[in-house]
Chains A and B, each alone.
Chain A
Amino acid sequence: MKKIHILGIIVIAIAIGVIFISLKNTSTYADFTEAIANPDQEFHVVGKLNKNQPQIYDPKVNADEFRFTMIDNKGVEKQVVLHKSKPQDFEKSEQIVLIGKMQGDNFHANEILMKCPSKYNDGKPQIN
């Protein structure tokens, strides 16, 4: 066997290794029920903001803490503690993806992705 072939095998082995190791550690999309069943494990939870529940953000106390309630795609509601400042245009979000884990009664998120479909495509032309 030539060096090149040995190298080729090494490359393939590393690639497969990376895939397996990373799959083991990758967090998955889930709903609150699954996150509650596996506390302290990281999940991505997709859902909607419950606009009837209070949103508490008081930067005077902690600029890195924002509390709100989200309803996941299965309809389960949970109080969320976002360990970040309150995102701009938060109320307008149509869909939220939270990255974080359950602890106690709250879902603690350290990252949030929001979709505001109205942002680029609200279908309402501007007429002066």
Chain B
Amino acid sequence: MNTIDYVGERIWAGQLGNGFVVLSFVAALLSLVTYYLSVKDASFLKIARMAFNLQAIAVLGIVATMFFMLFNHYFEYQYVWQHSNTEMNMKYILSCFWEGQEGSFLLWTFWNVVLGLLLKKQLKDGVWEIPVMTIFALVQVFLASMILGVHILDYKIGSNPFLLLREHPEFSNLPFIQDANYVAKLNGRGLNPLLMNYWMTIHPPTLFLGFASTLVPFAFSIAALWNKKYTEWQGIALPWTYFGILVLGVGILMGGAWAYEALSFGGFWAWDPVENASLVPWLVLVAAGHTMIINKNKGGSLFTTHFLTIGSFLLVLYSTFLTRSGVLGNASVHAFTDLGMTGQLVLYVLAFIFISVALLIRDKLFQTTYIVISFMILFFSMIYGYSKFLLMFWMVSSAVITLFCYFKYFPKEKEEEDLYSREFWMFLGALVLILGALIITYFTSIPVINKLFGTEYAPPKIPVYNVWMIPFTIALMVLIAAAQFLKYKKTEGKKFLKRISYTFILSLIFGLVGAVPLYFLSDFSAADGAEKWNLISYALLLITALFAALANADYFLTVLNGKIKKSGAAIAHFGFALLILGALISTSKKVVLSKNTSDRKVSGLGAEFDEKKSILLTVGDTLPMGPYLVTYTGKKREGINVYFKVDYLKLNKDNKAEYDFSLTPHVQDNPRMGKSPEPDTKHYLTRDIYTHVTYADLNTDTLALSKDAYNPAKNYVGHVGDTIFSSNAIIIIDSLRTNISKTQYEKIDTMLEVTAVLRCVDVRSKIHMAYPRYVIKNNMIIPVPDIVDDLGLKLVFWKINPEAGSIEITMSERLSNTKDFIVMEAYVFPYINVLWLGIIIMAIGTFIAILERLRANKTLSA
């Protein structure tokens, strides 16, 4: 069909890339099969290892080819064209790589390869190598298929990043494809401007390394079920689990930092489905890490550990499904668009649930029945189409079987856990984490629930999440504080309570000293019922978070005597408590500086509607805003960015305004991507002052406008009684006055004068009259315009349609009507640095714990 000889296409690059794509899939498949065969016959192991290495080389090859194409602007390839262009700064080329879905799958595969190679080396010739690497290879087969881009029957498997633009189904009909020389003229569409931020170059790789690292405990857990070695794996898997907690946790908050600096929703966390989708696996992984320690120190919690390690990986898969299938639709602003892989993604999630449940069953006949029925359902669905009923039936029976296996196969402790034992409190903590994760998952999954049950529930808003999550966080804080002082197995209750009471009293005092002015002095009496509860819960969280921080500091100093090596947990928990403190104070005491100064009436619609947070700043004017005086001094355009300079002034002792600092929030005016505002923030140690422009005119140079400059006129056809809308008034055609009656009109052609009486009601309901005239003199129409000076409106009455009985009026607005202005929001985030400090301390603590665990494993095996 296509007979055009295209010039300049670098076909070899795509062929090379595709070669690597196919190789990575085939090698992964080969390593899966040979690792599996090595269980019985060790002679396959050599091939398996080689195949895995080959897969690693292929993945590196894909990544290298893609980067080469991005760097050299091979725009004839759809992925390069869609995610980069020649004008962009090359430092963001990394972001181009993972902006698209295919690239982010590649990133994930890449980290799996890195972790897989490390693990392969660590486990070499041990009992765990074969089963763990089989699981790794299996996951790699699935991931490699995500970028295959082949069609089998009606099913599309994967989306290929090495497609030529003209081969891509969405773009192949474009007219320019007919031009044989199109390559030379082509430029890419460029990166989403929101991603041009340094956080965006490090957040996705960190996050995906976190996602990838959930695979390690998962692989161990499945391998243990498979080999029926239920306890021995936890020692080796524990440092890996901590590593996952560390990396995923840091990755999530890097996303928060990006949102805070580059997005304009005004905060670091918005409970967006995409954020939740990474938070939930983290919460579950943290719970898993804790039950693993319980198991290591005391035994027990076996089932829970399996359940949680498998769960966190399944939740990562589920989150990929949520964010990449398009199911979130209206619920999220930054989910990926649908690439038609929903079915494939669902199938992968289900496949891993299936594997986990099947291996949980120890009875051979039972296991075979489950496998056969599952496959029957799969084939049935493939032939007759998917059925909600079958899917739900399968899910429910898998859940029931899991529960059954828990009761049937897992050893139950004879003794009850002592109330005053560390394991009991740690287990409680894990339960709280699971419950929190469940609730967030449920809220986030509302669009999925709607799809399954045909309901119409809207996704919950931010306050709903906050209200539900605060009680869990309070419980967590108490557990974190207390658990450190408890010993495994048994602690003397009285002694423990006495020991812990000092820090508790101290945090109660500090907490109340802080909470009273923060939440109770001014806000409390003004709050309504629900808001009062919120304030009480804030105060409780403040006290308990302080308790958690102080107790861990106390433990570090007095019990551990400041020995860093042993203090990983204490430091990490201290950091986590700080993180919560920072999140609590910066969010609950976030102050809106930009109070709207309009005399707007209270709407009676509820508090959410009465939030006045936009301030209008006209160029040159100085307005009070919170403790500051602000002046908008003007804008300047640099490339596609328009910067708005806002000066902040403060009153000095003599009541004179003194310059304090300037902020320049900007709006990126991208012709292809639209306008996106980016905030600017003044950072102090104890607070941040955050501003962003919500509305502004980016184009008009308003400084040099004369009074006679008008916008293009708009024409209106109407009758008496009709209204015309201008940007600042409603204009009503009141009446028409004429020097002659209507019947005379047709006969007289020498002199006619009709005056339109226009009533212009401005936004303050003030009335301005305008009298444009329609004049016919000597067969000439000479309209006499009228100008409403106060409103900057020019009105011309220029036509009468006698048959329709209508008149035509044009209206134009003075350009200087729009004296340059911006609408801005400004907030203070107090103590947000405590949050960032918290995550750093937490990361350091976790890192120390990893080192300590590795050391312990070494001495154990030596």
Do A and B assemble together? Answer: yes
How distant is the Cα of A101 from the Cα of B404 in the complex, in angstroms?
47
0/1 per residue, B715-759, Cβ < 8 Å to A? 000000000010110000000000000000000000000000000
- At the interface, yes or no: B615 with Cβ under 8 Å from chain A? yes
Given the contacts A64-B596, A64-B600, A18 and B442 also touching, CB distance less than 8 Å: yes
Complex CA gap A59/B330 in Å reads 28
Provide the bound-state CA to CA distance between A111 and B458, in Å. 13
> Is B710's beta carbon under 8 Å from chain A?
no
* A23 contact set on B, CB distance < 8 A: 457
* CB-contact partner of B673 in A58, A97, A120, under 8 A: A120
Please measure, in the bound complex, the distance between the C-alpha atom of A85 and the C-alpha atom of B176, giving whole angstroms.
40
Interface residues on chain B, size class = 35 or more
Residues of A within 8 A of B434 (CB): 11
Q: Which of A61, A87, A88, A103 has the most CB of B within 10 A?
A: A88
CB distance B431 to A11 under 8 Å?
A: yes
Q: Given A58-B728, A86-B695, A88-B676, are A4 and B427 also a contact pair (CB < 8 Å)?
A: yes
**Distance between Cα atoms of A61 and B821 in the complex (Å):** 13
Question: B608 touching A115 by the CB < 8 A rule?
Answer: no
Specify the chain A residue showing the minimal Cβ separation from B185: A127
Chain A stretch 1-46: residues in CB contact (< 8 A) with chain B: 2-4, 7-8, 11, 14-15, 18-19, 22-23, 25-30, 43-44, 46
A120: chain B residues at CB < 8 Å are 192, 337, 673
Question: B674 to A89, Cβ gap below 8 A?
Answer: yes
A78 within 8 A of B: no
A97 with B330: in contact, given A56-B727, A61-B764 (CB under 8 Å)? yes
Min Cβ gap B88→A in Å is 12
Q: Interface readout for A64-103 with B: 1 if CB under 8 Å, 0 if not?
A: 1100000000000000000111111100100101011101
A89 CA to B417 CA, complexed, in Å: 60
- Nearest A residue (CB) for B608: A110
The answer to whether A113 touches B823 (Cβ under 8 A) is no
Please tell me if the beta carbons of B672 and A126 are within 8 angstroms of each other in the complex.
yes
Q: Given the complex of chains A and B, what is the CA–CA distance between A27 and B615 in angstroms?
A: 30
Residues from chain A with Cβ under 8 Å of B439 in the complex:
15, 18
A56→B729 CA distance, assembly (Å): 9
Residues of A within 8 A of B176 (CB): 125, 127
Cβ A30 vs Cβ B695 within 8 A: no
In the bound complex, do residue A58 and residue B763 qualify as a contact, i.e. CB atoms below 8 Å apart?
A: yes
- Contact at B458–A88, with CB atoms within 8 Å? no
Q: Are B330 and A22 in touch, CB under 8 angstroms?
A: no
A125 & B616 in contact (Cβ 8 Å cutoff): no
Of B374-382, B460-468, B536-544, which binds chain A?
B460-468
Contacts A14-B435, A63-B823, A85-B614; A27 near B458 (Cβ below 8 A): yes
B125 within 8 A of A: no
Q: Is the interface of A mostly helix, strand, loop or mixed?
A: mixed
State the CA gap A61–B598 with chains docked (Å). Answer: 6
B330 and A19 contact, CB distance less than 8 A: no
Q: Does B170 contact A (CB under 8 A)?
A: yes
B428 at the binding interface (Cβ < 8 Å): yes
Residues of the A chain whose Cβ atoms lie less than 8 Å from the Cβ of B458: 26-29, 43-44, 99
Q: Which of A98-128 contact B (CB under 8 A)?
A: 99-101, 103, 108, 110-111, 113, 115-116, 118-128
Quote the shortest CB–CB distance from A112 to chain B (angstroms).
11
Whether B725 and A56, one on each chain, are in contact in the complex, defined by CB atoms closer than 8 angstroms, is yes
B424, A22: Cβ atoms under 8 Å? no
Q: Mark B107-147, 1 if CB is under 8 A from A, else 0.
A: 00000000000000000000000000000000000000000
Which B residues are in CB contact (< 8 Å) with A108?
A: 603, 605, 609
Residues of B that sit less than 8 Å from A by CB: 81, 85, 165, 170-171, 174, 176, 182, 185-189, 192, 330, 333, 337, 413, 416-417, 419, 424, 427-428, 431, 434-435, 438-439, 442-443, 446, 455-458, 460-461, 464, 468, 596, 598, 600, 603-605, 608-616, 667, 672-677, 694-695, 725, 727-728, 763-764, 821, 823, 825
Q: Give 7 closest A-B pairs by Cβ, nearest first.
A: A54-B725, A63-B614, A44-B458, A62-B598, A61-B763, A85-B694, A88-B675
